Amino acid sequence: MISLHTSPLDQPGTGDAGGMNVYVVELARRMAARGIEVDVFTRATSSRLDPVVPAFDGVQVRHIHAGPFEGLSKEQLPAQLCAFAREVLRAEASQPLGHYDVVHSHYWLSGQVGALARDRWGVPLVHSMHTMAKVKNEFLADGDTPEPIARIIGEEQVVEAADMLIANTELEAKQLIGLYDADPARVEVVHPGVDLDVFRPHDRAATRAELGLPADASVLLFAGRIQPLKAPDVLLRAVAELLATSPDLRSRLVVPIVGGPSGSGLEHPESLAQLAAELGLDGPDGVVRFVPPVGQAELARWYAAATLVAVPSYNESFGLVAAEAQATGTPVVAAAVGGLTTVVADGRSGLLVDTHDPRDWAAALRRVVTDDDLRLRLEAGALEQARSFSWERTAERTLDVYARAQAELREAV
């Protein structure tokens, strides 16, 4: 696997680490459990990192030196593709002939390197986009920066070069075909999964006590990278609207924001805290709590302690946060965009909101907070919906894609 711009060892929720990191780790783990050895190539971001780090039994992360260890943004990484590709090829050259059977690249930067490795090694390239520039630009958040034309061209090249493309959802498959002219015969839909051993229901009262949350609070949780694309500001504005029309809720409302700044959010890392203060949601009697990024087990506890989890993103290729939250039995209020329309069953495991208007979001939040019967139905539906997503099934389907790509490559030779 190639994951150039973000390491599977990084903590999700800050920097460029997010759902893709979880995807690579969980998929690699499940494949290793089936006896398949997995090497993950990623760019080294510290001189203290060992060249090869065993992540799990059968999975090792190879740190490739390409450019300065620190200070490079994702937008500057295309200049390091040649150096990264050279070191990937050099690493493979030290192995016996035919060491790798498949290259699976994640994100377009990795796909550029994967295409070169594919041609040199004579093995198929399977690519997962995770996000697409044309889609992001179509659903751009206010004040966010459009993806550059260089990325769009790079993505088009990867789509053309890949032997197989894995889409997270049927909608993503249609976008690959419609926006990038992908061959429909080379696109397969494989849903990501959820670790149901980690993300599971907890005793809510006990978990809230451990996290310092009031037992009777209405907890509206946001988890993820703090950047315009993820739209945590929409949640804060909706909460302000909710309190303006229902001031009696203030005494029992808690809004944890779990995560760190990322992407264009790094330009103004304090902007969300400033917005909370401007809206009167911060301070001694405020309702907002900022929580640094946490590991998977701790994140599961935050989900389980919440009344609902809000996912107001402008776009999501899948929406792992929504899937994980539902696995703990917590309903999700999400934007009706991208993969969220697949992950969240509207009216059964959560509510989908068609706009990013804070008034519409406030109305949806109010329904879940004030209607006990609805909330209980959604909690039961959330657990049921989460059972349809498992990493074991994801690994099985992905291996089928690998096998098909290998077979077709052999036929073509």
H or E segment at 53?
Answer: strand 52-56
Map residue 64 onto helix, strand or coil. Answer: strand
Q: Compute the distance between CA of residue 227 and CA of residue 269 in angstroms, rounded to an integer.
A: 9
263: how many CB neighbours lie within 10 A of its CB?
20
Q: Is residue 384 part of an annotated ligand binding site?
A: no
Tell whether 306 is in a known binding site. Answer: yes
5 assigned binding-site residue = yes
Q: Does the annotation list 134 as a binding residue?
A: no
Check the annotation: does 151 bind a ligand. Answer: yes
17 is in an annotated binding site: yes
Residue with tokens 């739209």, as numbered in its chain: 231
Q: Is 21 annotated as a binding residue?
A: yes
Alpha-carbon span 99 to 309, nearest angstrom: 44
Q: Which residues contact 178 (CB under 8 A, 6 or more apart)?
A: none
Is there a binding annotation on residue 74?
Answer: yes
With DSSP H G I counted as helix, E B as strand and the rest as coil, what are the percentages for the chain, rounded to 5?
50, 15, 35
Separation of alpha carbons 111 and 165, rounded Å: 11
Token pair recorded at residue 387:
């059972």
Who contacts 263 (Cβ-Cβ below 8 Å, separation ≥6)? 16, 74, 225, 227, 228, 229
State yes or no: 111 annotated in a binding site.
no
User: Quick one: CA torsion of 349, 338, 4, 90, rounded to 10 degrees?
Assistant: 100
- CA-nearest of 11, 90, 89, 6 to 43 is 6
CB 129 within 8 A of CB 176: yes
Residues 6+ apart with CB under 8 A from 311: 222, 224, 319, 321, 322, 325, 332, 333, 334, 335, 340, 344
98 labelled as ligand-binding?
no
Q: 311 in helix, strand or coil?
A: strand
CA dist 380 and 377 (Å) reads 5
402 marked as binding residue: no
Residue 107 is assigned to a ligand binding site: yes
Report whether 324 belongs to an annotated binding site.
yes
Q: Give the angle subtended at the CA of 97 by the CAs of 157 and 399, to the nearest 5°.
A: 55
Closest by alpha carbon to 67, among 59, 79, 53?
79
According to the annotation, is 174 in a ligand binding site?
A: no
Annotation-wise, does 18 bind a ligand? yes
- 168 marked ligand binding residue: no
Query: Is 303 assigned to a binding site?
Result: yes
| 193 is an annotated ligand-binding site residue | no
Task: Report whether 131 belongs to an annotated binding site.
Answer: yes
Tokens of 239: 């909460």
Sequence ranges of the binding site for Mg(2+): 303, 306, 330
Sequence ranges of the binding site for 1D-myo-inositol 3-phosphate: 5, 16-21, 74, 107, 131, 151
Sequence ranges of the binding site for UDP-N-acetyl-alpha-D-glucosamine: 11-12, 19, 225, 230, 294, 316, 324
Sequence ranges of the binding site: 5, 11-12, 16-21, 74, 107, 131, 151, 225, 230, 294, 303, 306, 316, 324, 330
